[in-house]
Each structure stands twice: as structure tokens, then as C-alpha cells.
Amino acid sequence: MDDQYLKDVLAGKINAYRYFVNKYQDMAFSLSMSIVKSELVAEEAVQDAFVRAYQNIRSFRKKSKFSTWFYKIVVNESLRKLKKKQLDMVPLDDLPEPGISIKEVLQPLHEVEQREIINDLLLKLPPSESLLLRLFYLEENTQEEIKLITGLSISNIKVTLHRARKRFYAILKESYKNEYNSLL
């Protein structure tokens, strides 16, 4: 489907580009939020990413999926807009092993509440960890595709994913231990 609309855009049918905006805007916004942690900045980054993708669409060589190529642009635009912040994070070394199950904590909650909690937790993670969790679990990109999008090496991706999972569980337990305890 992407290929057909891509051909139309390259042939000069500008309106065909709406297809890509509709299809990828939410995921692009999610990825950008992982990095910039601000809705306003993420919106700007996504808008700029779409415009930049259009400007460079003739350079898309189809060696990867369109989404991989486009998400790389989103990541680059988001990094451009990123201002360094200090996040309040529990140092990883001090964390006890969580010993919890996500299912047990979140299952009883409504889907909307689950989504809010998940995004709240992802916002507390460092940009690189939050981004990799979204790319790997949400978008189901392979490690090779993540390497193309982020520029990280495979070993770096594996290490960061492992660290991200560990920190995610730790923050989950720390943030929702009351809910967790009340479920027991």
C-alpha cells in the first residue's frame, strides 16, 4: 500500500502524501514523545519530520520499509529539538528486583487508565530507553530496523532494551506499589 502511494507522490500527486500523514502521525508522535517528553515540542518535531520526508522522498531507496526510513527522520528531528533535562530517576543499581507482574498490576484497570499509566511510565524513562521500548514492543521493529532508525549498534540496542525493561518494572513497582499491595 505504501509503495502505491509513494509512486503517486513521486509522480507529482501531492494529495497522495496525506496517506502517509494519516498512517504514521500517531506512531511518530509517540516516538517523538519518548525523546522530547513534551506534547508541544513533539508536535513540532512530527510536523517538521513529515515536511523533511517529503523534501527528501526522492532519496528513499526502498532498501528498508518506508516506516523505518521515516522514523529515522522523526528521531533526528526530535533530537534536534531536545533540550537536556534532569529526570527524577531511581538509580538502577539501587533498585531491588521488582518481583512483580505487569498483568497483576494493570489487569484490573480500564484500558484508558492502563494507557495513561504506561505512557506515564515511559515518560519517566530516559529518551533512549523509552524510544527503544516503543520501537521494539509497540511498533514491533526488528533489532536491525531499530539500528537503522537510531544508529545504535545491535549490542547497544540489546543492552539498552534490557536496561529499559529493568527500569520500567522498577518504576512500575515504585509508582504503583500501593495499587499493587491493595491487589494482594
Partner 1 sequence: MINSDDKDLRAFLKKGLINIPTSNMEERVMEKVEFIAQRNISVKRNLKTSWVFLICAIVLFPLAYWHLYSRVDFYGATEIGNSIKELSGFLFPAGILFFSVVILLLVDNLIKLSSNKNPGY
The residues binding partner 1 (CB under 8 A) are 12, 14-15, 17-18, 21-22, 25-30, 33, 39, 43, 46-47, 50-51, 54-56, 58-59, 97-103, 106, 111, 114-115, 118-119, 122, 133-134, 137-138, 165-166, 168-169
- Provide, rounded to whole angstroms, the least separation between the CB of residue 62 and partner 1: 17
Whole-Å CA distances, 3 to 7, 16, 156: 6, 11, 32
- Provide, rounded to whole angstroms, the least separation between the CB of residue 36 and partner 1: 12
- Provide, rounded to whole angstroms, the least separation between the CB of residue 153 and partner 1: 22
| Nearer CB in complex with partner 1: 33/86 | 33
Q: 169, 163, 17: which is closest to 4 by C-alpha?
A: 17
| Nearer CB in complex with partner 1: 17/64 | 17
Q: Identify residue 1 by its one-letter amino acid code.
A: M
Q: 134, 113, 114: which is closest to 35 by C-alpha?
A: 134
| Nearer CB in complex with partner 1: 86/97 | 97
Q: 29, 32, 35, 77: which is closest to 54 by C-alpha?
A: 77
| Nearer CB in complex with partner 1: 106/149 | 106
First to last CA, the chain: 48
CB neighbourhood size of 173 (10 A): 18
- Provide, rounded to whole angstroms, the least separation between the CB of residue 117 and partner 1: 9
Q: Identify residue 155 by its one-letter amino acid code.
A: S
- Provide, rounded to whole angstroms, the least separation between the CB of residue 159 and partner 1: 15
Largest interatomic CA distance in the chain:
61
| Nearer CB in complex with partner 1: 147/163 | 163
